[in-house]
Structure 1
Amino acid sequence: MTTVPADPVATYRVQLTPDFAFAEVAGILDHLVDLGISHLYLSPILAAMPGSTHGYDWCPPARVAPELGGVDGYRLLRAHAQARGIGIVLDIVPNHIGVFDARHNHWWADVLRNGADSPYAEYFDLDLDFGDGALCLPWLPADGDLSQLRLTDGELWFGDRYLPTADDTVSSGRSAREVLDRQRYRLVPFDSRQIGYRRFLAVNELAALRQEIPRVYDATHAWLRELADDDLFDGVRVDHLDGLIDPIGYCRRLREDIGDRLLYVEKGLSVGERLDPELPVDGTTGYDQLRLIEGAFTAPSGAIELSEVYQRITGMSGDGDELNARAAELRHVTLIDLFSDRVRRTTALFATSAPDVPVHKVQAAVTTLISRAPVARPGSYPSLTPAILARIARIRREAPSMDDGLDVLARAFTDPDTAPEAVARLGEAVSAVTAKAIEDIGYNRTGRLVSANELGCTPLVPSVDRDEFHGALATRARNWPRALTALSTHDTKRSEDVRARIALISQIPQRWTVLVLTLWRIAPPPHAPTAYYLLQNLIGVWPDTGTPGPAVRERFHAYARKSMREAGVVSSWTAVNDDAETDVIEWTDRLLTGTPADLICDFVEIIARPARDESVSRKVLSLAAPGVGDVYQGTQWWDDSLTDPDNRRPVDYGQSLDHPKAAMVATTLAVRRRYPECFGPGGVYEAVVCRGTSGIHVVAFTRGDADGQPRVLVAGVRLAHTFRPGQAREDAVIPLPPGVWRDAVTGDDHYGDVTADVVFGDRPAVILELL
């Protein structure tokens, strides 16, 4: 049996489904060994709502899903993986639970039957201040139409949603409406703002859990303790950490349960924000790294030029100041429209701590701070308090009329004992509003350069400079050497290859401008901002040669509809505008034939090869930089996926490892395995600054051991459109550290100052080892 490495080499994320369950995962283990993967990273394995394709809507009792093979199937997968030296990281979902079908969630069903008297009422974050103490469920259309309500065989239903009924409330002769009126819950319109339970973001089918209550934690983590007792996993990934009321307290308890196993948290970090050192974790799931790599491959001057064409086409400015202003306004509107429950409850808690301050002033301060918070989750992490107090002071200078309300907030953030629950709820609201307003709505509305509209990234500042890039990686090597590095995940808006293709637009903004203006002239779009946004995505999935086939067209249609509904401009999830959606989709179809298609094919021909090169370069850097590279299923080959569910399509594991991307993945991970002292805790990262007129086109660094001796040098091509093999590469000089350095692929030896054309040849990335 091969030993699982104590320090991960790389993880491989698999999306489990009934059609790709534990048995099927066991069938790809040999492929993962060939790639050099050290840890299998599974999507949630608990039993979920019937038909779930993702597992995040798990339901009690917490048990390994029979549809995936059950606990016996999981044990067998564990044994097969261990035999090959592969560990397992589990994705757990403490923040919420699936509630769509109460027949499959007896906790939720009991709460609906018995209201606050249910023994499970404390499991959920209920708000019974509406409806005379009844639980308000926002499941009706805007007009409150109850025509779908019915009694069938003594069971109450609303459409396809089963409604549990309290004892003795269903009897012969009672109508469905009469039965409904006798329940401990009320059905209300989705936009009534009378929401009786805290949801995951604004998803009605996912109800938040109160993990801060020991009984709830025990009930939701007993299964994990049992697996830990039998040593059946090597690490845990915590979904949506910032949705919990007490993230640090939760992680401390979880750390006690899992011991020294790996512990990763899915957590957003604002630009410049650092993970709080009080978290007893090994790092984030890697969106902070995604931003660094994405930014390093985005031309800053091109982004400025794209702002000009974006404004010309859409009438909206795409510069940072304007985007920042729109983001604050969008947060505010989203907060009021979708999260009014958070506002009301948070305001009430703050107001209780300061009864002499008018409630409306407290509410104004609360809504303003939530809309303008500078960090992803204020209040729960001590290291972020100075940033929050600074923002409160800034709001005070800009709006002196809020002084009284802001005093209440400042006092609570300064003194942890003043209003701890209010601070915690404000932080959770910021997390929810940011995710919904910015990542869901905003990222589908803003289209200056959509490769920057990604988790961890910011379209405000799409590029990062060399100092920021290397400085952040050096800090990561010291503080979070086991943290994950993500390029694609099940949540990313586009795959890494699609983003690499779109980012190339920033390198040829003039050609892009000509293409857009020509298309707008010969095929005028029905809605310019939506069309401009979708065109970039269409370029991202356009084949290297030819035009998109039927499968790509169908996938893009589905993506376009989802994007328009998320954006909420021409259509929305709650007010679908079929005509407007059809007009936009028919416009995208017009681009697939005739002159528009010819123009796009010519444009793609220019960017396809450098985009492929940059995609390989990004992958190598992500796997060799400080931290642990995470390979999302299928991304060892080219992957043209868009947002979910498109990125959960089945993967063809029959593809060759001789593929340009897969081969470099295997090479990079083989080198990592040969130098564990350089890539794990204690390893040293040093930037290598390339010289020459084309030196900016190379990003390079060394990884060394604890003594500081560099032993591996990694170099990748960036801004590749004007850095093709030939003269440009002769004008970039890589200063190698002392010694002789051998190419891990070709075996060629190098020393001293070498030009990029000698080191790279026609390749996009190289790894050199000190002899």
Structure 2
Amino acid sequence: MSDPAGNLTAGDPQGGPLRSDASPTGEPPVGEPRIGDEAAGSGRASAGGEVVGAAPASTYRVQFTPDFTFADAEAVVDYLDALGVGALYASPVLEAVPGSTHGYDVVDPTRAREELGGESGRVALHKALKRAGLGFVLDIVPNHMAVGHDDVNQWWADVLRHGRGSRYAKYFDIDWDSGPLLLPFAADEESEEEHEHYRLAFWRRGNTELNYRRFFDITTLAAVRVEDPEVFDATHGEVLRWVAAGEVTGLRVDHPDGLADPGGYARRLRERAGVWLVVEKILGADERLPVSWPVDGTTGYDALREVGGLFVDPAGEAAFTALAEELGVPTDFAAVEHECRDLVARTILRAEVRRIAALVRDADREEAERAVAEVLVNFPVYRSYLPEGLDAWTAAVRAATSPAARELDRQVRAEPHGELATRVQQTSGMVVAKGTEDTAFYRYTRFVALNEVGGAPDRFGVPPEEFHARAAAREAGSPTTMTALSTHDTKRSEDVRARLAVLAELPGEFAESVRRWTAAHPIGEPSLTMLAWQSLVGAWPITADRMRAYLDKAAKESKVRTTWVDHDEAFEAAVAAWPEQVLSGPVAAEVASFVERIVVPGWSNALGQKLVQLTAPGVPDVYQGSELWDLSLVDPDNRRPVDYEVRRRLLDRLDDGWLPDVDDSGAAKLLVVQRALRLRRDRPELFRGYRPLEASGRTAPHVVAFERTDLIAVATRLPVGLANAGGWGDAVLPLPPGEWTDVLTSRPADPSLAGMLDRYPVALLVRGDR
């Protein structure tokens, strides 16, 4: 909608010039955080109307480990400052299981982790960030804590000693009415032990008899009842102390779908911590965050799907479907997804299903279990947030065939905040995540660039019109939500997906290659075969060890021939031998030759999607190391050490005026990241509003462009098709009035796309007459 002056307001994809009534801001004083939202310096209003802290201009995610500590992060603060980063975005830093490489297994939320440098190291890092003017965004884990048959977690150890009488008994979500706490940590049945307050049981019993809530199917991560105010205070007190001291300027909430009342939790956290707040909520393609949540937005998987999809050619879908069918890979995603969700509900998450079924009154227990499983399997989204999300709940119930589903439905509707409804809600996301992301995505391997967290593998690409509409909606409704392209949880890095997107433009060539390569090196399982060749091409060059570890995980996650608990040793041995056989044989040269054919258009896609993410509405995150090319696969491959000295040297050269070629060094990507992040930090007033720009000419569909305030982002899309058309020809991008300069090259903007994009496949234009 336009305002009375005819200016385009946020969220309107049509209309006249963008509003430009904000004055530029200068450099902040030393020690003051640099901020990039439109309420710079004064905070902004949350959904509840209270004034909350300003959003960072951008974030840079780092994974803290015993090998990358607070001191190591402190040593790269100057580099992050030079890159233009607004805030360091940290993985969890509270005391965790010794040796943990991720920090999500917290054992003591009352202190900073000693292996990272403890409290003194944390404070030293804060001081370095403050001197540089960077914020500190912290990942917190309210849903669970690490537990075991030991005393690493003192709260849990006290529960084992005192049972229901422990002061910490109510901290954990334990069903005490079912008898002693069952600990499925024994190596075999002969090692089972009976104790006063717990039973040490064979580990296999955890998936069927567990009487405490856990994180997914991980029995060593016990759920915490943060809905209890006392438990909330105990688990959040230290972090809130850091917030109050100004040492934490933003929070990222892990796995809110596991909480009893995510909205209530968000409100309590917002009341106690008036800082930027995002939640790791995985949204469906057409789903939005509940409007009642007082948060800034998500951690960006929704934006990832939209941005990445822009660079996928839908014309390649039929050929990929045909190849999948030829190899024996399933091509009905809905059927695969349903089958995989049903599998996890009946096996690895059966304990959760049984606990819910026991709460269904007036129904046969076995029939109630079937009804609960059917409803969970058929959820159209991760969680429906009753009573607001009644449509999703209704859809799931209607798909169930068990007569007990009617009684389940009646009770949930009668008490939408009762224990039964709450446990269904907490478990639905577990079934969806384990069934879809961690199983179906490894079986439905038709085109794996789409098989991403928050992705929609059956939607082959995102049309520019859809992208623009969603970007405008984001600017209007959640302009300070996070956006991301790579995370510690993505199935493959942004640059791997960018290269794989090229295959959608060359489906015939890839299909012929896969047929030939598979004949020489069969794996014996169709879905894994299709995944293996795409992964090899996407991450090339890759060592046999990295490829072996990836395929081992993929084979077990798919649960087709082998699993994490029930092994087919012969098949696993064949999979383990495959990478070395391929890389040491003649097929390796063919793969290298094929990759050489697609690497340059892959770089074009990578630069395009990065520029779009960095300049579109939202707060962009850069995952550690991904400012250069990063050809990583799923964790732990994507958590390898980052060489910051290489990045520092390249950044110094950029500051000396070097314009790098688009080549193996990745310096061109560093240039794009640096220029965009510095603009966000130093000139936040440029990043308001949103308006699509349309090019004219025969090759106009190969460019995506949009205008913010006095800023235009331009990116090449579908580069193979563009090359086949002979280049840009006479295509033109009409520019709004003014003198526009490409900040990547420092040249005046040329409206002809052949001139504008002759140096790089992207352009970042800034108007200099205002």
User: In which range does the TM-score fall when normalised by the shorter chain?
Assistant: 0.7 to 0.9
Q: Confirm or deny that 1:292 pairs with 2:306.
A: yes
Give CA-to-partner distance per residue, 1:676-727, whole Å, 9 cap, x none.
1242xxx2111112232222211111112xxxxxx11101111122324993
3-state SS, counterpart of residue 381 of structure 2: coil
Give CA-to-partner distance per residue, 1:65-124, whole Å, 9 cap, x none.
122111121111111111111000011111110113522111111222333232222111
2:68 & 2:31 partners in 1: Cα distance? Answer: 25
2:396 & 2:180 partners in 1: Cα distance? Answer: 38
2:412 & 2:194 partners in 1: Cα distance? Answer: 42
Paired position in structure 1 for 2:189? 145
Q: Is the 8 A contact 1:296 1:466 kept in 2?
A: yes
Give CA-to-partner distance per residue, 1:572-631, whole Å, 9 cap, x none.
111233321221232232221342112111210111111012111111111101001100
Q: Is the 8 A contact 1:126 1:198 kept in 2?
A: yes
3-state SS, counterpart of residue 728 of structure 1: coil
Q: Confirm or deny that 1:488 pairs with 2:483.
A: no
Q: CA deviation at 1:729?
A: 1.5
Q: Is the 8 A contact 2:314 2:504 kept in 1?
A: yes
Paired position in structure 1 for 2:110? 62
Paired position in structure 1 for 2:378? 372
Paired position in structure 2 for 1:749? 748
Change (3 A) 1:560 1:422: same
Change (3 A) 1:601 1:514: same
1:287 & 1:424 partners in 2: Cα distance? Answer: 25
1:35 & 1:567 partners in 2: Cα distance? Answer: 39
Change (3 A) 1:635 1:696: same
Give CA-to-partner distance per residue, 1:212-268, whole Å, 9 cap, x none.
111211110110122123221101111111111110011111111112x11110111
Paired position in structure 2 for 1:662? 670
3-state SS, counterpart of residue 723 of structure 1: helix
Q: Is the 8 A contact 2:713 2:763 kept in 1?
A: yes
Q: Is the 8 A contact 2:386 2:417 kept in 1?
A: no
Return 5+ residue gaps in structure 2 as ranges: 1-29, 37-55, 655-666
1:115 & 1:273 partners in 2: Cα distance? Answer: 42
Q: CA deviation at 1:526?
A: 3.1
1:604 & 1:381 partners in 2: Cα distance? Answer: 51
Paired position in structure 1 for 2:563? 572
2:582 & 2:369 partners in 1: Cα distance? Answer: 49
3-state SS, counterpart of residue 212 of structure 2: coil
Give CA-to-partner distance per residue, 1:2-42, whole Å, 9 cap, x none.
53123322100111122211111111111111111010001
2:576 & 2:693 partners in 1: Cα distance? Answer: 47
AA of the residue aligned to 1:86: L
Q: CA deviation at 1:421?
A: 2.4
Q: Is the 8 A contact 1:389 1:410 kept in 2?
A: no
3-state SS, counterpart of residue 765 of structure 2: strand
AA of the residue aligned to 1:30: D
- TM (norm. structure 1) is 0.87
Change (3 A) 1:463 1:340: same
AA of the residue aligned to 2:441: Y
AA of the residue aligned to 1:368: E
Paired position in structure 1 for 2:50? none
- TM (norm. structure 2) is 0.87
Give CA-to-partner distance per residue, 1:386-421, whole Å, 9 cap, x none.
33334544x27xx5x64x6336416634x5x45632
Change (3 A) 1:515 1:381: farther
Q: Confirm or deny that 1:688 pairs with 2:689.
A: no
Paired position in structure 1 for 2:504? 506
1:240 & 1:255 partners in 2: Cα distance? Answer: 17
Paired position in structure 2 for 1:429? 427
Change (3 A) 1:604 1:229: same
What's the C-alpha RMSD, in Å, of the aligned pairs?
2.1
2:181 & 2:116 partners in 1: Cα distance? Answer: 34
Change (3 A) 1:519 1:30: same
1:603 pairs with one of 589, 594, 607: 594
Q: CA deviation at 1:449?
A: 1.0
Worse overlay, 593-602 or 731-740: 731-740
Q: CA deviation at 1:521?
A: 2.4
Change (3 A) 1:10 1:61: closer
AA of the residue aligned to 2:333: L
2:358 & 2:197 partners in 1: Cα distance? Answer: 27
2:416 & 2:608 partners in 1: Cα distance? Answer: 51
3-state SS, counterpart of residue 183 of structure 2: strand
Q: Confirm or deny that 1:250 pairs with 2:265.
A: yes
AA of the residue aligned to 2:284: S
Paired position in structure 1 for 2:10? none
Paired position in structure 2 for 1:317? 330
Q: Provide the aligned length of Structure 1 versus Structure 2.
A: 702
1:534 pairs with one of 516, 532, 536: 532
Change (3 A) 1:107 1:181: closer
AA of the residue aligned to 2:588: A
AA of the residue aligned to 1:63: R
Q: Is the 8 A contact 1:15 1:42 kept in 2?
A: yes
Paired position in structure 2 for 1:707? none
Paired position in structure 2 for 1:194? 209
3-state SS, counterpart of residue 95 of structure 2: coil
2:180 pairs with one of 125, 134, 156: 134
1:122 pairs with one of 158, 170, 173: 170
3-state SS, counterpart of residue 460 of structure 1: coil
Q: Is the 8 A contact 2:382 2:432 kept in 1?
A: yes
Q: CA deviation at 1:137?
A: 2.2
1:408 & 1:109 partners in 2: Cα distance? Answer: 36
Q: Is the 8 A contact 2:35 2:681 kept in 1?
A: no
The 5 Å alignment of 1:466-477 reads: 466-477=464-475
Paired position in structure 2 for 1:345? 355
3-state SS, counterpart of residue 158 of structure 2: helix
Q: Is the 8 A contact 1:526 1:587 kept in 2?
A: no
Q: Is the 8 A contact 2:161 2:197 kept in 1?
A: yes
Q: Is the 8 A contact 1:307 1:317 kept in 2?
A: no
Q: CA deviation at 1:181?
A: 5.6
Percent of pairs with identical residues: 38
Paired position in structure 2 for 1:735? 734
Q: Confirm or deny that 1:308 pairs with 2:322.
A: yes
Paired position in structure 1 for 2:16? none
Paired position in structure 1 for 2:124? 76
2:235 pairs with one of 220, 235, 238: 220
Change (3 A) 1:33 1:189: closer
Return 5+ residue gaps in structure 1 as ranges: 150-176, 705-710
1:145 & 1:81 partners in 2: Cα distance? Answer: 52
Paired position in structure 2 for 1:409? 409
Q: Confirm or deny that 1:266 pairs with 2:312.
A: no
Change (3 A) 1:726 1:31: farther
AA of the residue aligned to 2:427: A
3-state SS, counterpart of residue 557 of structure 2: helix
Worse overlay, 569-578 or 324-333: 569-578
Q: CA deviation at 1:509?
A: 0.4
Q: Is the 8 A contact 1:379 1:426 kept in 2?
A: no
Structure with larger RCO (C-alpha < 8 A, sep 6+): 2
The 5 Å alignment of 1:611-690 reads: 611-655=602-646, 656-657=650-651, 658=654, 659-679=667-687, 683-690=688-695
Change (3 A) 1:380 1:89: farther
AA of the residue aligned to 1:692: G
Q: CA deviation at 1:58?
A: 0.9
2:460 & 2:149 partners in 1: Cα distance? Answer: 42
Paired position in structure 2 for 1:208? 223
Worse overlay, 372-381 or 324-333: 372-381
1:594 & 1:189 partners in 2: Cα distance? Answer: 42
2:297 pairs with one of 283, 291, 299: 283
